[in-house]
Chains A and B, each alone.
Chain A
Amino acid sequence: NFMLTQPHSVSESPGKTVTISCTRNSGSIGSTYVQWYQQRPGSSPTTVISENNRRPSGVPDRFSGSIDRSSNSASLIISGLKTEDEGDYYCQSFDSTSRVFGGGTKLTVL
């Protein structure tokens, strides 16, 4: 199995852009899709990015995703930050028999 490592927390001001990284420790980041989930306190996670860079219906285009094979990492980019974007963000990927989550990143918009 592989692991996905995320920063514990990030903070940024409203209106700014923030990037959350997710680094895979073994195997290629490009070998399987990476998804991103947002979890607000007391709620179930919801998908903000699927399949590396797709936005499910209803997710604002302020959210985008990318992968970087050179650093073996994926990134979630949120532009035009709003206070409602605060919460925990998890990256997730998989192999043929397992699903793996990153440890999560707490986003504070201050």
Chain B
Amino acid sequence: QVQLQESGPGLVKSSQTLSLTCAVSGDSISNGGYYWNWIRQHPGKGLEWIGLIYFTGTTYYNPSLRSRITISIDMSKNQFSLRLSSATAADTAVYYCAREKRAGNWFDYWGQGTLVSVSS
């Protein structure tokens, strides 16, 4: 059974960098059949795609966040990470990591989500 687990600080100060990690179990992150995504959800709002990484290191980012995002992969630890710089209160959200099937491009497994609050 594939599982994804987000981890990281639940509170970040404004202007600092928000950093999260997604640990993957039940599958190898080097499995070429999948992309590894970050998605967020502002309180009471809809889902917003942040970006993805492939095991080769290829990344795609949401254009509205591209200047502040870095997604990286650590195959030795079977995990991938998100860094969002210059955080503001507008970045307060539940952050999900999710596995996306390359065949069909749909998210088949999601983490439970982690709430990150940005304080001023």
Contacts and interface: CB of A to CB of B under 8 A. Distances in A.
Interface string B49-82: 1001000000010110000000000000000000
A47 to B, nearest CB: 6
Contacts of B100: 99
Interface stretch (A16-24, A31-39, A69-77): A31-39
B37 interface: yes
A92 interface: yes
Contacts of A99: 37, 49, 52, 100, 105
21 contacts: A33-B105, A35-B105, A35-B107, A37-B107, A44-B111, A44-B112, A44-B113, A45-B96, A45-B107, A46-B110, A47-B108, A50-B106, A51-B104, A51-B106, A97-B60, A99-B100, A101-B39, A101-B46, A101-B47, A103-B46, A104-B46
Contacts of B60: 97-98
B107 A98 contact: no
Interface residues of B, number: 21
A83 to B, nearest CB: 22
B49 A101 contact: yes
Q: For chain B, what secondary structure do more than half of its interface residues adopt (helix, strand, loop), or is it mixed?
A: strand
Nearest to A100: B49
Interface residues of A, number: 26
B48 interface: yes
A50 B100 CA distance: 11
Interface of B: 37, 39, 46-49, 52, 60, 62-63, 96, 100, 104-108, 110-113
A92 B96 contact: no
A82 B26 CA distance: 33
A101 to B, nearest CB: 4
A32 B62 contact: no
Nearest to B112: A44
